[in-house]
Amino acid sequence: MVAVLLPAGASAQTAGEQAKPAKRYFRFEFKEHPAIRMGQWFRMDFRLKFQHDFRTFDPEVSTDEGELSNLRKFRVGIKGYVTKNFEYEIEREIRNEVSELFKLRARETLALWRDVYGNWRYFRRVQIRAGQFKIPFGMDQLNNSGFIYRSLVGNFLAPGREVGMMAHGKLFDSRIAYQVGLFRHDGWKAHLKDHSRSAEGTFAGRIVVPPLNLFKTPAFLKPAKDLALGFAVTESPLTEGLRSLRGRTWVITHAWFDRVNVRGHRLRLGAELNWEPGPFVVKSEVIRVRDERLGQGLRGDDLPNLIARGWYFTTGWVVTGEKTAGGVVPRRSFIKGKGIGAVQLMARYEQMRFGSSEHPGLPSRSSRAANIFSTSERIATFGVNWYLNRFVEIQFNAIREVLEDAAKAPIPGVDTYWSKFVRIQFAF
């Protein structure tokens, strides 16, 4: 008999290696999203977003948006990387196809392709993104607002998506975030009804700084270390014509400030505040937009600039205790997790106003008036968000809109409107 001596632990190690399954090169997994992976160099996550609204208005107003008007979003997409240094995302709206499949009337969605871009991140501090994505301006436009609708300034004064190229990253141990880029036009939110463009070429820049996280702070200020302040700017040359920004209500999206004639340059300035300590959230933003009106008088003279400005203040509390930073994720899912999910209370107050930078003569609603009739809208929104699990959310919003100019209201002479919304949202 021949005895073979093995080093101590060798038998256990061999058995462990035999028991451990070999890692597959190509595999399908479903953790946060369904995904295909190839080793460590390729990943493709499959995404789906679905939103459906139930709504009532007081006083009652009619809408011609069609039977599918309550289907607010039906998008599919993919997101992932090819090597760890190149990321990509592609997302498409398929509401038109769904309406055709089920023979339903619906307002046609012209902007089918949403985010379509690649991101080169070899240098983490200086990454390059190219394609179609949101211009870096407007915190409420760039991030989830926590409400069924974004704020007025986030939806009508921020530019939204556009084709372009942007450098972005984080500096000083990831404390300061920056974004700066050049874009083909002035964003979807500035498009006209026929999707013609209001500006050719846009420069945009944004920086977000946590001021109390840049140096050592006393103990009583530690809860405020997550406070972040941001500043943003865009500048665009304007195409001549009725191409200014406009104001609209959430009640059947009725225009309370119409476009006026502009020519020259558009300058946006924005300041933002974001604080998310634990289950609480406080957000605020101020935006000012200046449109020049060179040569737009009845005699070809220059007119005072058109000024659009607005602000909002948001606060919220997750009563079940989950953190708000990075998105609310329930600790215990509804039913399956033997819990109620996560419940969040939200409130927002906001205002947006249009008018002239100077006020010579009597105010007028004419698109070529020197003194544009100044008007505004104020909105108070109260909401409850119920996160059943990480895929399903139900939102309840009550919205009170007050128009300064009742003559431009959805129902002439009626300046106050209540809207009640329930949204069912599914996303993975």
- Strand positions, DSSP E, 59-112: 71-82, 86-93
Return the DSSP state at 16: H
- So what CATH class is 123-427? mainly beta
Share of the chain above pLDDT 90, in %: 65
Q: What is the pLDDT of residues 40-88, one digit of tens each?
A: 899 999 999 988 888 888 898 766 554 445 778 889 999 999 998 999 9
For residue 23, the model assigns a pLDDT of: 56
Q: What is the pLDDT of residues 214-272, one digit of tens each?
A: 778 787 777 888 899 999 999 999 989 999 999 999 877 789 999 999 999 999 999 99
Q: Where are the alpha helices (DSSP H) in 70-171?
A: 95-101, 139-142, 152
Rounded mean pLDDT, 274-292 = 96
Q: 392 by DSSP, 3-state: which?
A: strand
- The length of the chain in residues reads 428
Residue 14 — pLDDT band, cuts 50, 70, 90?
Answer: very low
Residue 336 has pLDDT above 80, yes or no: no
The residue whose two tokens read 């991101």 is: 119
For residue 417, the model assigns a pLDDT of: 95
For residue 190, the model assigns a pLDDT of: 83
Q: What is the pLDDT of residues 390-403, one digit of tens each?
A: 899 999 999 999 99
- What is the average pLDDT value for the chain, to the nearest integer? 88
Residue 149 to residue 119: CA distance in whole angstroms: 28
Residue 225 to residue 212: CA distance in whole angstroms: 5
Residue 352 contacts residue 388 (beta carbons within 8 Å): no
Residue 170 to residue 174: CA distance in whole angstroms: 5
Model pTM greater than 0.85? yes
Residue 10 — pLDDT band, cuts 50, 70, 90?
Answer: very low
Q: What is the pLDDT of residues 365-387, one digit of tens each?
A: 999 999 999 999 999 999 999 99
Sign of CA dihedral 56, 154, 321, 218: negative
For residue 5, the model assigns a pLDDT of: 40
- In the structure encoding, which two tokens stand for residue 33, read together? 């999203």
The residue whose two tokens read 């008018």 is: 355
15-29, 98-112, 182-196, 373-387: segment of lowest average pLDDT: 15-29
Rounded mean pLDDT, 123-151 = 95
In one letter, which amino acid is 19? A
For residue 269, the model assigns a pLDDT of: 98
> Rounded to the nearest 10 degrees, how much is the dihedral formed by the CA atoms of 35, 36, 37, 42?
-100
Among the ranges 10-19, 318-327, 330-339, which has the highest mean pLDDT value? 318-327
In one letter, which amino acid is 79? K
The domains of the chain are located at 28-117, 123-427
